[in-house]
Amino acid sequence: MPRTIAVYFVCTVLIAGLAAGGTKSTIDTPVLGCAGGTQVSRSVTICAPATGSTGLPAGFSLQWMTCDELAANGGQWYSSDDPRLHKASFSGNANGSRYALAPGQCVTVNVGDFLFDAGMSTNSTDNLSCGTCYAFHAFGHATNKDKRSDFTADLNCSTLACGNGEPQCTFTFNDWLVLLPPCDPGEDMAAGPRALEVPSTLTLGTVTYTMGQVACFLGTPANGNGLLDLAHQLIAAKLNAQKNGSLPAATAACIADADALIGSLQIGTGFLDPSATSTLASCLASYNDGAVGPGACAPPDPGPD
């Protein structure tokens, strides 16, 4: 073979090899499904396709708008940097994350009542609105070998219909944060207006706190601390029980179990792994969010800023 032809042949092979090695494949597109919910939250299941080859090893991102917002925008999603777009990221790379999905694996997230565990972040912590259709779509995160996936098709899921309201209804823990006077870590809340009559103290586990401290707990993100996540729901459940004068039997049992699990741990300084608290927190959230019991109250008016 002449020298020039041989050199050309070798270079062509090398360039082709580099091009092939430099081309990234695409992560499998997730599969979404509605998975139940409450009047103020909606559960969505995200799966890595069983027939896919990559899974979702780096996790995924989920975005949502109301169906009315999507329709009013001509069926187009708001841009990623638009503050009106609600979104959450679920990293599969975080230590202890449950969002690294192999082919065929699924995970369920609760939009409007997120569990802030390892790898989860969001720009929207507000409850959803009752009796409302929401549109969701998602994409799988890129890895160092594969590009991010395409967006899924849009999925529409609705929250439960609004309840009948006062007097028998329940507020979420975010609602109670609005209803209680501001956080005061050292004092009782005798001073200042109260939207509803509340006790002067509240016992969580075996420790009694002033309502000023309770307001501080409600305003502190859980950030992966199962103790604080459980305390949010336990506070709301106890205040709802006092407001309504009764409790579903299953909720009363979960309150007793939550108190026993918390014991003498100090809210704000203690820690429990979310895996130890998620079942009880979900039980109490079902009552607070209106899925069981009398139904959710209309969101309270936050008043002037």
From 103, 128, 158, the end of a domain falls on: 158
Determine, yes or no, domain membership for 293. no
Is 84 in the same domain as 139? Answer: yes
Report the alpha-carbon distance of residue 135 to residue 113 in Å, rounded.
17
Is 60 in the same domain as 126? Answer: yes
What is the per-residue pLDDT for 6? 47
Is residue 172 within 8 Å of 281, Cβ to Cβ?
A: no
Strand segments, DSSP code E, in 38-189 are: 42-47, 59-66, 86-91, 106-111, 120-122, 133-140, 146-147, 155-158
Is 60 in the same domain as 124? Answer: yes
What's this model's pTM, rounded to 2 decimal places? 0.59
Is 45 in the same domain as 125? Answer: yes
Alpha carbon of residue 157 to chain centroid: 16
What is the per-residue pLDDT for 18? 43
Is 126 in the same domain as 180? Answer: no
Is 107 in the same domain as 185? Answer: no
Report the alpha-carbon distance of residue 135 to residue 158 in Å, rounded.
9
What is the per-residue pLDDT for 268? 87
What is the per-residue pLDDT for 19? 46
CATH number at residue 38: 2.60.40.10
Report the alpha-carbon distance of residue 284 to residue 238 in Å, rounded.
10
pLDDT (tens digit per residue) in 134-174: 999 999 999 999 999 999 999 999 888 776 445 678 999 99
Residues paired with residue 296 on neighbouring β-strands, in sequence order: 170
Is 36 in the same domain as 77? Answer: yes
The residue ranges of the chain whose pLDDT is under 50 are 4-21, 164-165, 189-194
What is the span of the domain harbouring residue 259? 173-288
Pairing of strands 86-91, 25-26: unpaired
Determine, yes or no, domain membership for 7. no
